[in-house]
Amino acid sequence: MTLPTEVPTAVEDVAPRSGVVRRFLRNPLGLASAIILALIIIAAVLVPVLGLPDPNAVNLRDAMKPPSPQHLLGADSSGRDILSRLLWGSRINLLGAALAVVIALIIGVSAGLIAGYYGGWFDSISSWFNNFTMALPGIVVLLAVRAVVGPSVWIAMAVFGVLLFPGFFRVVRGAVQTVRSELYVDAARVSGLSDFRIIGRHILTVVRAPVIIQIARLLSIAIAIQAGLEFLGVSDSSTASWGSMLNDGFRKITLNPILILWPALAVGLVCMALVLFANAVRDALEDRGKQGNIPRRARKATDAAHPQEQATSAGALQPESALLSVAGLKVAYGYGRTEKEVVHGVTFHVEQGEVLGLVGESGSGKTQTAFSILGLLPEGGHVSAGSILFDGQELTSLSETQRASLRGTDIAYIPQEPMSNLDPAFRIGYQLTIPLRKRLGISKEEATRRALALLARVGIVDPEKVFKSYPHEISGGMAQRVLIAGAVSCNPRLLIADEPTTALDVTVQAEVLDLLRDLQRETGMAVIMVTHNFGVVADICDRVAVMQAGRIVEIDDVDRILSQPSQDYTRRLLDSMLEDGPVRPYPFEDASSTDNTPVELPVSAEAKE
């Protein structure tokens, strides 16, 4: 299956990762700081081959000499070449700072991850140790270490690394605590991923950005502190370093003030560049997803695509017969200055018994749109504007209880990851019958009878056995059939299927699609099929709405979208996603039943056997 990342140009323009790099490079301060840091690192790496004089070669005849072709930046009080000492010193300072930050990173990130994810005694102990370390006077500790182990810059920086660990620990622990209760982490746990994999795959990606920013900040602190320690004489003064040069320059400041200028400039420049670099990375990451960052080219095309689809008033240009009318829907996360809009005013409708495909690349806003209709936006997300009319009822003004009563009965949902949506602690039968009994008020026996018939109808060969099984005892394909059975159990009028075949293998995908087609035809329910796969669209949809970057760029009949899309974006999406093979015809006869009473679904031939 071709994934959206393979869609060329315009899609790549809005891909989050490349967007971060582009935004970073567009920030002049970020770019300048990156260039300065790169030049300093290159100079530090290449210094042995630059043919500069020995940084420690004393030549009293050259003492305090001003800049000359022989000493480009002049010579110090012992006649040593200042440029050579600066560049050799940069190695010591950069490596010393890197050592401290790597130690802080290893201790802080691993302790922060474990403390944030597991909590408990480890969290208590590590938090206590974090507070204790923060309370220690760092310089006093380093001076004490020097008194015990001698003037080694490496030992001093290693100890400083331990003292710096709270810088990472607090950031990582806080981020992990926020993210560990997210649904997708629960879903990953439920689907059987080990903690190690969950932390590696789901948690580390969340803390990556703050950690990168923190690395740059702590590096600048470590360089300044290291130079300060060398200035105080904590390290070996015979080694060329920025701090020892500062010390030398300070002692001769009345004789030649320029001696202190070069190392001070070096320390100041690197620290400033690191801080600016960190700020630019933060700005680039925080701007991710803002509309202002969608390339103007893409935005123009989007806005001009179908102006009627960008209507903002409720029900504008929507057919009265529509079962669902979404108008000017905007979805945002956060409030006030931190509000981030992810869906920018989408308008579409779904007729009774119609199958509407919602297609688009990853991150285009399909799921957010679907969740808005279901009233299931993740924490922090809200409908910031627009209207969702379902059967003439404005969903956005309903209470949570009213919306909950619609879910499962009038509006059903089939998720992408079947396994994560079945509770591993309960048998399949229990999970199917409880909603039936609660919503339809039927007896346990009646609910069991219906659940078994539903399991048979969705193609489960041994319904009795699956009824008594726990989720881990059935395959992914069977789990998806169980969820489909659950979704259609109360005869919904609208079914929202969020990439229902993505997590399944190819043969099972086809079977599940066939099943959905048959069920849709039998019950006459309307379907919103969220997908990034035009094969699925061709298979099952009547009309298609194409989404890009939180907007609908094109909406039309499936045949027209597939044969003559009006937007370049749709064409590119089609080129990259459409599988070879003919569009399977789908006879939508008699798909208009709106009766909401549960029907006896026919038992499949396979199940009868």
Ligand X SMILES: Nc1ncnc2c1ncn2[C@@H]1O[C@H](COP(=O)(O)OP(=O)(O)OP(=O)(O)O)[C@@H](O)[C@H]1O
> Residue 7 Cβ, how far from ligand X at the closest point, in Å?
12
- Phi, psi values for residue 436, rounded to 5°: -60, -45
The stretch among 266-274, 348-356, 358-366, 395-403 that binds ligand X (CB under 6 A) is 358-366
> Residue 361 Cβ, how far from ligand X at the closest point, in Å?
7
500 binds ligand X (CB under 6 A): no
Give pairs for 192-195: CB < 8 Å, separation 24+. 192/419, 192/472, 195/117
CA gap 288, 560 in Å, rounded: 34
> Residue 267 Cβ, how far from ligand X at the closest point, in Å?
39
Cβ neighbours around 288 below 10 Å, total: 14
365 binds ligand X (CB under 6 A): yes
315 or 363: CB nearest ligand X:
363
247 or 480: CB nearest ligand X:
480
The stretch among 51-59, 183-191, 232-240, 365-373 that binds ligand X (CB under 6 A) is 365-373
245 or 294: CB nearest ligand X:
294
Closest CA to 489 of 459, 518, 458, 467: 458
How many residues interact with ligand X (rule CB under 6 A)?
A: 15
> Residue 286 Cβ, how far from ligand X at the closest point, in Å?
12
364 or 491: CB nearest ligand X:
364
> Residue 578 Cβ, how far from ligand X at the closest point, in Å?
17
- Binding to ligand X by CB under 6 A, coded x per residue (else -) over 374-413, reads ----x-xx--------------------------------
364 binds ligand X (CB under 6 A): yes
Angle (CA) 406 407 409, round 5°:
70
> Residue 4 Cβ, how far from ligand X at the closest point, in Å?
7
> Residue 581 Cβ, how far from ligand X at the closest point, in Å?
22
372 binds ligand X (CB under 6 A): no
> Residue 369 Cβ, how far from ligand X at the closest point, in Å?
7
CA gap 3, 363 in Å, rounded: 12
Cβ neighbours around 232 below 10 Å, total: 15
Q: 321 is written with which tokens? A: 């017969």
Contacting ligand X within 73-92 (CB under 6 A): none
Position 451, amino acid: A
Contact by Cβ (8 Å): 88, 257: no
85 or 551: CB nearest ligand X:
551
363 binds ligand X (CB under 6 A): yes
> Residue 153 Cβ, how far from ligand X at the closest point, in Å?
44
CA gap 110, 107 in Å, rounded: 6
421 binds ligand X (CB under 6 A): no
Strand ranges (DSSP E) for 398-525? 411-414, 494-498
N-term to C-term CA, the chain: 34
> Residue 289 Cβ, how far from ligand X at the closest point, in Å?
5
299 binds ligand X (CB under 6 A): no
Interface residue with ligand X, options 367, 372, 420, 431 (CB under 6 A): 367
Pairing of strands 324-333, 381-390: antiparallel
248 or 361: CB nearest ligand X:
361
13 or 391: CB nearest ligand X:
13
Contacting ligand X within 240-259 (CB under 6 A): none
Residues 6+ apart with CB under 8 A from 283: 23, 24, 27, 30
> Residue 500 Cβ, how far from ligand X at the closest point, in Å?
13
Contacting ligand X within 335-354 (CB under 6 A): 342
366 binds ligand X (CB under 6 A): yes
Residue 392, judged by CB atoms within 10 A of its CB (0-12, 13-18, 19+), counts as exposed
Position 506, amino acid: V
Q: 180 is written with which tokens? A: 């560990």
CA gap 583, 536 in Å, rounded: 9
Per the DSSP assignment, residues forming a β-bridge with 388 are 326
> Residue 495 Cβ, how far from ligand X at the closest point, in Å?
17
- Binding to ligand X by CB under 6 A, coded x per residue (else -) over 266-295, reads -----------------------x------
Q: Which helix (H) or strand (E) holds 517?
A: helix 506-523
110 or 502: CB nearest ligand X:
502
202 binds ligand X (CB under 6 A): no
Output the residue with the shortest Cβ distance to ligand X. Answer: 367
130 binds ligand X (CB under 6 A): no
Closest CA to 219 of 277, 258, 260: 277
The stretch among 265-273, 366-374, 422-430, 577-585 that binds ligand X (CB under 6 A) is 366-374
368 binds ligand X (CB under 6 A): yes
532 binds ligand X (CB under 6 A): yes
The stretch among 98-106, 135-143, 220-228, 359-367 that binds ligand X (CB under 6 A) is 359-367
Task: Tell me the H-state helices in 326-443.
Answer: 366-374, 400-406, 428-440
12 or 391: CB nearest ligand X:
12
CA gap 196, 176 in Å, rounded: 14
Angle (CA) 551 555 557, round 5°:
160
361 or 539: CB nearest ligand X:
361
DSSP annotation string for 4-54 = GGGS-HHHHHT-HHHHHHHHHHHSHHHHHHHHHHHHHHHHHHHGGGTTPPP
66 or 334: CB nearest ligand X:
334
Q: 301 is written with which tokens? A: 């095309």
Closest CA to 279 of 34, 512, 53: 34
Interface residue with ligand X, options 165, 168, 333, 534 (CB under 6 A): 333
> Residue 8 Cβ, how far from ligand X at the closest point, in Å?
18
Binding region for ligand X (CB under 6 A): 289, 333, 342, 360, 362-368, 378, 380-381, 532
